Amino acid sequence: MEPKAIFEAVKGKFGEAVVELQEEGFRPAFVVVSPESVREISLFLRDDPAMKFDSLMCLSGVDYKDRFAVAYHLHSLEIGHRIGVKAYLPREAPSLPSVDGVWPAANFQEREAFDLYGIVFTGSCDLRRILLPEDWVGHPLRKDYKYPEFYHGIKV
Amino acid sequence: MKARAEALPTQEMLINMGPQHPSTHGVLRVILRTDGEVVVNARPDVGYLHRALEKIGERVTYAQFMPFTDRLDYLASMNCNAAWAWTVEKLAGIEVPERAEYIRVIVCELNRISSHLIAFGSFTADMGAFTPFLYAIRERERVNDLFEDICGNRLTYNYVRIGGVSADLPDRFLEKTKEFLDYFEPKIPEYNKLISYNKIFVHRLANVAAISGGEAVAYGLTGPNLRGSGVSFDLRRSEPYSVYPKLDFDVCVGTGERGTVGDCFDRYMVRINEMRESVKILRQAIAQIPGGPVMAKVPRAFKPPVGEVYFRAENPRGETGIYLISDGTVNPYRLKLRAPSFVTMNIFEKVTKGLMIADIVAVIGSFDIILPEIDR
């Protein structure tokens, strides 16, 4: 299915929760959705016979300076089409539902986004820091991250 | 007898496997909870090699990031180089000369062979057969020699450029590659005779940690690990890029030859068979390669248009995806590296439940993970 048709179908089903379609300059195109409905829309995209997005290729956190985003890149092995789903989050206490119950592949990548951006995935089966030490302060991929001078008394 | 068994302490043991352990293929720590020899739970702990490549990427230019991709999957640097170049070219719409694309495919497939050789060699060494490792290294040396000819390096090549490759092939390179292929192709049946169908080896792998096709897709397994589960999906075929559409090859899948579909043996066998397919691709590419330039015109202060792109390439360890956001300046705004080994580690805890400790080594080897790529 073309991104436009996917957007129309999701919009028809979820109405207000689907904000816009980002097409120009985006490959693949993104369906922008409200963060609180991410889990329901993901379930729909996975299970609907016309969608069948059985594979979560990539899940990434992004810092757009004025706000955060979580981008999901989906692919359907059976149908062969692709789409992006994006949810924008406020800079203050960014949080959205986890999709590791929809695609188990999400767990490690959600932990990574939590570790490096401080985005909280509610309902996640296991949300801990993954790449950095557990006692690290701050989230380094944020654009306003200040490098610490010391870590456990060692100059960084 | 019964009374004695009750007197023995039977609580679970907590064992640290790694971070320094020869069978974890780098600095991977696995926290094992065991009941005697049986694994109750094996939780991977990654991040020991974290070098913040994504953060570095936001501070260097697009061209400057190329050598960092070498350090992503150092056993397949050419593939990582090329994946980065293809991503940026897709974002900026750069047309690459055909000769350069053929050169990229040739070096990528050579690198796939050398990477699979290491996978094969280290896996058999993990399983207690050291000799095949020496055979694999011997063959890999010849690939390294070929790469040394074209770019001077034997491990971190930094050969591919955005818009082409850094230099044309040296004299006699294609002949030498052909000689290597003639030498290498008969070695594959030799490996099978030597170890693949060895009874002990098969017993160590068959029916161990079988993953069904559906599970493999849901957990984001890619590359040989996905195909080992019987799913015929190869990006070179399904989402063709570069000149792969012009080349004919078979997609190897696991068939449950010695046990269940998707067990460790299937994942191992897919890699052995893929080496043969790479030889096939290389022979065609050598026959078809056209003349002409090897670099497109790319400005020195390269600024791609504003946009977001996700590109994925079929690397030896699976799908290396790059999500790249450009804000129109000389530096990438955000680049996310979706490393196949990282996503593969997701399923590790699930498939190792109830196995023996020795099987953990078989599972790690059959996934062919590489730690610099997991930790980035």
Longest Cα separation, chain B = 83
Alpha-carbon distance A91 to B288, whole Å?
A: 53
Chain A residues whose CB is inside 8 A of the B253 CB are none
Low-confidence residues in chain B, pLDDT < 70: 1-6
- A121 lies within 8 A of chain B by CB: no
Chain B nearest CA to A26, separation (Å): 5
Its ipTM equals: 0.90
- A130 lies within 8 A of chain B by CB: yes
Residue B84 CA to its chain's centroid (Å): 15
Number of domains comprising chain A? 1
Task: Give pLDDT, residue A7.
Answer: 87
Q: Is the peptide bond before B170 cis (omega within 30 degrees of 0)?
A: no
Residue A138 has pLDDT above 70, yes or no: yes
Tokens linked to B197 = 């169908």
Q: How many beta carbons lie within 10 A of that of residue B1, not counting itself?
A: 4
Chain B nearest CA to A95, separation (Å): 20
Mark yes or no for CB contact A116/B54 under 8 Å. Answer: yes
- Residues A134, A111 contacting (CB under 8 angstroms): no
Alpha-carbon distance A103 to A143, whole Å?
A: 29
- B116 lies within 8 A of chain A by CB: no
DSSP alpha helix (H) spans, A49-142: 106-117
Mark yes or no for CB contact B308/A25 under 8 Å. Answer: yes
DSSP-derived letter for residue B21 is B
Task: Give pLDDT, residue B258.
Answer: 87
State pLDDT tens for residues B226-284: 999 999 999 998 888 889 999 999 999 988 888 888 999 999 999 999 999 999 999 99
- A131 lies within 8 A of chain B by CB: yes
Domains of chain B (ranges, CATH numbers): 7-375 (1.10.645.10)
Tell me how far CA of residue B39 lies from CA of A14, B59, B214, B351, B367, in angstroms. 44, 44, 24, 11, 18
Mark yes or no for CB contact B334/A62 under 8 Å. Answer: yes
pLDDT, average across residues A103-124? 92
- B38 lies within 8 A of chain A by CB: no
Range 328-367 of B in CB contact (< 8 A) with A? 334, 336, 338, 342-343, 345-347, 350
Chain A residues whose CB is inside 8 A of the B375 CB are 131
Task: Give pLDDT, residue B1.
Answer: 46
- The backbone torsions φ and ψ at residue B210, rounded to the nearest 5 degrees and listed phi first, read -70, 135
Q: HSE on the CB side for B190, CA within 13 Å?
A: 10
Nearest CA in chain A to B342: A108
Mark yes or no for CB contact A58/B55 under 8 Å. Answer: no
Chain B residues whose CB is inside 8 A of the A58 CB are 310, 312, 321, 323, 336, 338
DSSP-derived letter for residue B247 is S
* Amino acid letter for position B37: E
Q: HSE on the CB side for B236, CA within 13 Å?
A: 24
Chain A nearest CA to B308, separation (Å): 5
Mark yes or no for CB contact A30/B220 under 8 Å. Answer: no
Chain B nearest CA to A128, separation (Å): 11
Task: Give pLDDT, residue B2.
Answer: 53
Mark yes or no for CB contact B219/A141 under 8 Å. Answer: no
What CATH number corresponds to the domain at position A50?
3.30.460.80
Domain span at residue A82? 3-155
State pLDDT tens for residues A19-41: 888 888 888 899 999 999 999 99
- Residues A52, A76 contacting (CB under 8 angstroms): yes
Q: What does pTM read for this prediction?
A: 0.91
